[in-house]
Amino acid sequence: MRNREVKQRLRKAFDNAAPALKDAERSFRPIHIGEPFPSEKKYRQPLPRWTLAAAAAVLLFFCGFIGFHAHPFAAKSRIETAAGPGEGLSPTPAPAVSATAAPTTQPTGVTVQAKEPASDATLLDEATVKALVLSHAELTEAAVQYWRAKLDRENGRLVYEAELTADGVEFEYEVDAMTGEIVKCEREQLAANPVPAEEPIGEEKAKEIALQHAGVSTADAEQLRVKADWEDNRRVYEVEFVANETEYDYEIDAVTGQILKSEKETVREAADSSSAAKGSAAAPAKKSGSSQQSSGSNEAIGTSKAKEIALKHAGVSASKAKRLRVETDRENGRQVYEVEFTADGIEYDYEIDALTGKILKHEAERDDD
Amino acid sequence: MLKLNQENRLTESPSTDSSLEHCLTRMGDGDNSALEEIYHHTRAAVYGYALSLVKNVHDAEDVLQECYLKLCSAAAAYRKQGKPMAFLLRIVRNLCYDRLRDRQRRESDLSSELAAMSAWPNLSEEDRVTLRACLEELRDEERQVILLHVLGGFRFHEIASFTEEPLSTVLSRYHRAMKKLRIQLS
């Protein structure tokens, strides 16, 4: 049985085995904030409404307690945390924002009042938070070059951690997710070179830099991908490609073109070592296999060559081949390439000896998908 | 060249990332048919992956329901980043871990479990053989790689970063598992 058939059967079996969605589950409950992206390290359970209410109650109690017993201290910490961008304690009423968004620097008593709607346990959505932050920082939407907000829990309360840059200044805010209170505000002048003036080098250039560093020509690079991304507040390009059975992974500064990270991982060696680990049985088989071959070479032809052989045999040009994929596999102890592609509604399937380039098997069938 | 490669990458997945992403966006906008579509394209991966983690049919079926429910509420917050399947399977994984932690139990053996599948009576004999082979013959970590690659459409290096294991380990597991399956299903 071929790998492809195994895969098809697996797909079909699990597709059929998956239970139907229960009707009750199909109704939508879009809530505006949703959940944070479920990243591996910082996954949080969705909070049931009662949890939010409880958190709000604890917060209320705590604030009330401090307000009553240790008012000077509370006031002090407030000054520290709410030190605004440049102008210190600017009162920031956020007009036109929801009523739950409490002004930052109100006396404690008033804040408590403003927090009352929190028992309703509604979280502010990101747009509201953004509006709050922008009005606090006295920025317009247009001036913001970078914005990111994520929901987090800080000492038991839900806050939005927002980062933004505008006019060469980086701001970091923490905003209470229920009351809209600005818990923390930091600003930092970015390095002297103004960011907006810098133009990114472009994906093509990034690709070029990576390929040059790897010593790989454009033609040899397969599965070449470039993606613009942000890393530690700087724009980068992530460049990935495979060449000569090696996976390359680059991170390139989008402005300076400097290589920030380069990784290289050999794919074939790994596949080989795995088969070697399978036992000695495979090794002699491979040896005898290769000694039979006239070329006597022990070098694999490479995936691009295998692809070329298959395409040539099928009489299909590279540009016409869709869903082209090559996999390294082992068949009776010999290393083979499985090349699959479709063209003009026909599915081609090749098995090519990785050492000699000989076509061991080929199939063509109408693609019914 | 680049364009072609990207296209290959998309079409080779059982369900394309771009169409899934589109569905998620539609879901976020409140389009009810989008969930149906996502479910249709991803249920095999979601269910298979859940089953491979919790190793209990009932839990896996519950996880599937919960996962789509969760997706409904998370869709509005989903930000495009080109990897919706990874987004979805992370939800699955987290749900499974929660379940394992809550119940403090781990079924070591799936063989007695299979008949409990709600869809079991309707499965063809071939499907049953395939499921048996995948669930009984493969080791847990092999099964995971197979399911992520074949059902989830993950590339090997994506699996490596998803499971935080070296690429070489992922590759050798895949090849070993494929060999087992080929033998079992032939």
CB of B73 within 8 Å of a chain A CB? The answer is yes
> Which segment of A267-276, B48-57, B176-185 scores lowest on mean pLDDT?
A267-276
CA distance B7 to chain A (A): 8
Please state the rounded mean pLDDT for residues B102-108. 61
Please name the residue that has the structure tokens 């240790």: A70
Q: What is the pLDDT of residues A153-168, one digit of tens each?
A: 777 778 888 888 887 7
pTM, 2 dp: 0.40
Distances in Å between the alpha carbon of A8 and those of A343, A353, B60, B181? 19, 24, 22, 12
Q: In this predicted model, which residue has the larger pLDDT, A222 or A59? A: A222
CB of B10 within 8 Å of a chain A CB? The answer is no
Q: What is the pLDDT of residues A301-317, one digit of tens each?
A: 888 889 999 998 888 88
Q: Please, is B136 exposed, middle or buried when counting C-beta atoms within 10 Å of its C-beta (0-12, 13-18, 19+)?
A: middle
Report CB contact under 8 Å: A26, B91. Answer: no
CB of B58 within 8 Å of a chain A CB? The answer is no
Chain A residues in contact with B7 (beta carbon < 8 A): 322
Q: In this predicted model, which residue has the larger pLDDT, B122 or A368? A: B122
CB of B86 within 8 Å of a chain A CB? The answer is no
Q: In this predicted model, which residue has the larger pLDDT, A287 or B171? A: B171
Q: What is the pLDDT of residues B25-63, one digit of tens each?
A: 888 777 778 888 888 889 999 999 998 888 888 889 999
**Predicted local distance difference test score (pLDDT) of residue B6:** 39
Report CB contact under 8 Å: A11, B44. Answer: yes
ipTM of the complex in this document: 0.83
Q: What is the pLDDT of residues A336-350, one digit of tens each?
A: 888 888 888 777 888
pLDDT at B177 over 80: yes
Please state the rounded mean pLDDT for residues B9-19. 52
Mean pLDDT of chain A: 68
Instruction: Give which of A11, A22, A28, A367 to mutate to test B binding, by max B Cβ within 10 Å.
Output: A28
**Predicted local distance difference test score (pLDDT) of residue B46:** 94
> Which segment of A332-341, A347-356, B90-99 scores lowest on mean pLDDT?
A332-341
CA distance B56 to chain A (A): 13
Chain B residues in contact with A17 (beta carbon < 8 A): 44, 47-48, 117, 119-120, 123, 127, 131
Instruction: Give which of B7, B63, B72, B167 to mutate to test A binding, by max A Cβ within 10 Å.
Output: B72
CATH topology match: A198-266 vs A278-366: yes
Chain B residues in contact with A354 (beta carbon < 8 A): none
Q: Which domains does chain B have, with CATH numbers?
A: 14-108 (1.10.1740.10), 123-186 (1.10.10.10)
> Which segment of A110-124, A332-346, B10-24, B86-100 scores lowest on mean pLDDT?
A110-124
**Predicted local distance difference test score (pLDDT) of residue B63:** 92
Q: Please, which residues 191-210 of chain A have a Cβ atom closer than 8 Å to chain B? A: 207
Report CB contact under 8 Å: A267, B4. Answer: no
pLDDT more than 70, % of chain A: 59
For A275, name the nearest residue in chain B, comparing CA atoms only.
Answer: B172
CB of B80 within 8 Å of a chain A CB? The answer is no
Instruction: Give which of A5, A8, A9 to mutate to test B binding, by max B Cβ within 10 Å.
Output: A9
Please state the rounded mean pLDDT for residues A117-145. 75
Please state the rounded mean pLDDT for residues B152-167. 88
Tell me the range of A36-50, A176-190, A301-315, A355-369 where mean pLDDT is highest.
Answer: A301-315
Q: Residue ranges per domain, chain A?
A: 49-192, 198-266, 278-366
CATH code reported for the domain at A198-266: 3.10.450.40
Report CB contact under 8 Å: B172, A270. Answer: yes
Nearest by Cα to A183 from A151, A164, A150, A160: A160
Report CB contact under 8 Å: A269, B168. Answer: yes
Please state the rounded mean pLDDT for residues A41-54. 50
CA distance A85 to chain B (A): 29
**Among partner residues B44, B61, B75, which is closest to A14 by beta-carbon distance?**
B44
What single-letter amino acid sits at B52?
A: S
Tally of CA atoms within 13 A in the half-sphere of B35 that contains its CB: 28
Report CB contact under 8 Å: A37, B151. Answer: no
CB of B115 within 8 Å of a chain A CB? The answer is no
Q: How confident is the model at residue B143 (pLDDT cuts 50, 70, 90)?
A: very high
> Which segment of A43-52, A190-199, A237-246, B140-149 scores lowest on mean pLDDT?
A43-52
C-alpha–C-alpha distance, residues A221 and A276, integer Å:
28
Q: Give me the residues paired with residue A154 across strands.
A: A157
Q: In this predicted model, which residue has the larger pLDDT, A228 or A23? A: A228
Please name the residue that has the structure tokens 């395939």: B130
CATH code reported for the domain at A278-366: 3.10.450.40
Angle at A79 between CA A76 and CA A85, to 5 degrees: 165
Q: How confident is the model at residue A57 (pLDDT cuts 50, 70, 90)?
A: low
**Predicted local distance difference test score (pLDDT) of residue A270:** 40
**Predicted local distance difference test score (pLDDT) of residue A192:** 52
Strands of the sheet with A246-253, listed across from one edge: A222-231, A234-243, A246-253, A259-266
Chain A residues in contact with B181 (beta carbon < 8 A): 6, 10
Contacts of A288 (CB under 8 A, 6+ apart): none
Specify whether the CB–CB gap between A133 and A84 falls below 8 A: no
pLDDT at B104 over 50: yes
Report CB contact under 8 Å: B11, A322. Answer: yes
CB of A170 within 8 Å of a chain B CB? The answer is no
Q: How many CB pairs under 8 A join A and B?
A: 192
Q: How confident is the model at residue A111 (pLDDT cuts 50, 70, 90)?
A: very low
- 3-state secondary structure (DSSP) of residue A64: helix
- The correct CATH number of A49-192 out of 3.40.50.300, 3.40.50.10490, 3.10.450.40, 3.20.20.140 is 3.10.450.40
**Do β-strands A169-176 and A182-189 pair in parallel, antiparallel, or remain unpaired?**
antiparallel
CB of B68 within 8 Å of a chain A CB? The answer is yes
Report CB contact under 8 Å: A322, B182. Answer: no
Chain B residues in contact with A7 (beta carbon < 8 A): 150
**Predicted local distance difference test score (pLDDT) of residue A72:** 46
For A11, name the nearest residue in chain B, comparing CA atoms only.
Answer: B151
**Predicted local distance difference test score (pLDDT) of residue A266:** 66
CB of A36 within 8 Å of a chain B CB? The answer is yes
